[in-house]
Amino acid sequence: MEKSIKPDLFYPCLHEFFDLNGGNFNSKDIIWSEERDPSVRRILGYHMTIQVKGVDKVPIQGPQYLEDIRRIEASYGPPGTFSYSIEYLDFEQYVVFEKETIISLLLAGISTAFVLLVVTFSWRASLILIINITLVLVYVSATIHYWDLTFNSIVVVNIMVTMAFAQDFSVHIVNTYLVTVPPKGKQFRTEESKRVYKTKTALSRMGSGLIHGGFATFLAICCLFLSKSYIYSIFYKLWSAIVLFSVFNGFIFIPVMLSLFGPVDSEDKKTESPAKQEP
């Protein structure tokens, strides 16, 4: 059985302590009931300042600290005990950071795949685009690792932007590939020749726009190169990688995949000569 001091013995001693100079210093940390008579008033709550060890690695030590302090509050504190610090706002994001990031990426991936199917109306073209987006995400994630960047909310926002840019720098070439109709002739009877023709046509029509768009975007962020701000520095590094890998995949990976596995509409033998169709 827990030992406790009876209220009729505790409060007279507490009021006597507050009458002293040292006790008067601590009285501001206590919340009293509204009774005016000091002998009747009771403690509703109190504030206590604690000193803890410094948190150096916030993404790792922050969630561990919150877990430990909440366990102490639940095990040893009175009902309603809680702790607060301005640093908790930074710690809290890493408690659900991994889960929320995975959910956001999955939802973005599902919605992107659905939109690509609607726009291209081709499961094969959509699959090529999804593989392209996945590769760009892998490239940017590797850049984050080798640049030794902290995986925080700013980086996650740029990763979500990566999906949009990887799609934007490739879907135009795929769309042009799909709407291009190869001319009828002996040299375009095989599916391989049709794919090569459609890929070359798509590159000739959209390749220059792809390069110009990527170069213009890179010029727009070059002004952040000398910035000392953490946010601008991260923005410059990640967007440089996003533009570089998106243009690379859109200009090299996508055409190669289309020339090898791109969808080709079947002519159903409509190109056969009239002589072969006569009885």
Residue 276 lies in a domain: no
Q: Within this chain, do residues 253 and 139 fall inside the same structural domain, yes or no?
A: yes
Distance of CA 116 to the CA centre of its chain: 20
Q: Within this chain, do residues 225 and 180 fall inside the same structural domain, yes or no?
A: yes
Long-range contacts (CB closer than 8 Å, 24 or more residues apart) made by 259-266:
259/195, 259/196, 259/199, 260/195, 261/124, 261/128, 262/124, 262/125, 262/128, 262/177, 262/195, 262/198, 262/199, 263/122, 263/124, 263/125, 263/178, 264/191, 264/194, 264/195, 264/198
Residue 279 lies in a domain: no
Q: Within this chain, do residues 123 and 254 fall inside the same structural domain, yes or no?
A: yes
Residue 71 lies in a domain: yes
43 bridge partner residues: 32
Q: Within this chain, do residues 56 and 43 fall inside the same structural domain, yes or no?
A: no
Buried b (16+ CB within 10 A) or exposed e, 199-229: bebbbeebbeebeebbeebeeebeebeeeee
Buried b (16+ CB within 10 A) or exposed e, 117-131: bebbebeebbbbbbe
Residue 156: closest CA among 220, 88, 234: 234
pLDDT value of position 268: 34
Q: Within this chain, do residues 103 and 19 fall inside the same structural domain, yes or no?
A: no
Q: Within this chain, do residues 113 and 183 fall inside the same structural domain, yes or no?
A: yes
- 268 Ramachandran zone, left/alpha/beta (phi>0; psi -120 to 50): left
Residue 264: closest CA among 186, 167, 197: 197
pLDDT value of position 129: 95
Range of the domain at 67: 51-94
Residue 8 lies in a domain: yes
The number of domains in the chain is 3
Q: Within this chain, do residues 130 and 254 fall inside the same structural domain, yes or no?
A: yes
Q: Within this chain, do residues 137 and 215 fall inside the same structural domain, yes or no?
A: yes
- For the CA atoms of the chain, what is the radius of gyration? 33
Measured CA to CA, the distance from residue 103 to residue 105 in angstroms comes to 6
pLDDT value of position 3: 61
Residue 108 lies in a domain: yes
Residue 103 lies in a domain: yes
Residue 271 lies in a domain: no
pTM of the model: 0.73
Residue 165 lies in a domain: yes
**Packing angle of the helix pair 123-146, 254-261 (nearest 10 deg):** 150
pLDDT value of position 27: 67
Q: Within this chain, do residues 250 and 185 fall inside the same structural domain, yes or no?
A: yes
Q: Within this chain, do residues 88 and 103 fall inside the same structural domain, yes or no?
A: no
CATH, residue 243: 1.20.1640.10
Q: Within this chain, do residues 218 and 151 fall inside the same structural domain, yes or no?
A: yes
- Given 40, 74, 94, the domain boundary residue is 94
Mind listing the pLDDT tens digit of every residue in the chain (279 residues)? 456 677 777 888 877 777 776 566 666 778 878 887 777 778 888 777 888 778 888 878 888 888 998 898 888 877 888 888 888 888 888 888 888 889 999 999 999 999 999 989 999 999 999 999 999 999 999 999 998 888 888 899 999 999 999 999 999 999 999 999 988 888 888 999 999 999 999 999 999 998 999 999 999 898 888 888 888 999 999 999 999 999 999 999 999 999 999 998 743 333 334 444 444
Length of the chain: 279
pLDDT value of position 116: 93
Q: Within this chain, do residues 87 and 160 fall inside the same structural domain, yes or no?
A: no
pLDDT value of position 152: 83
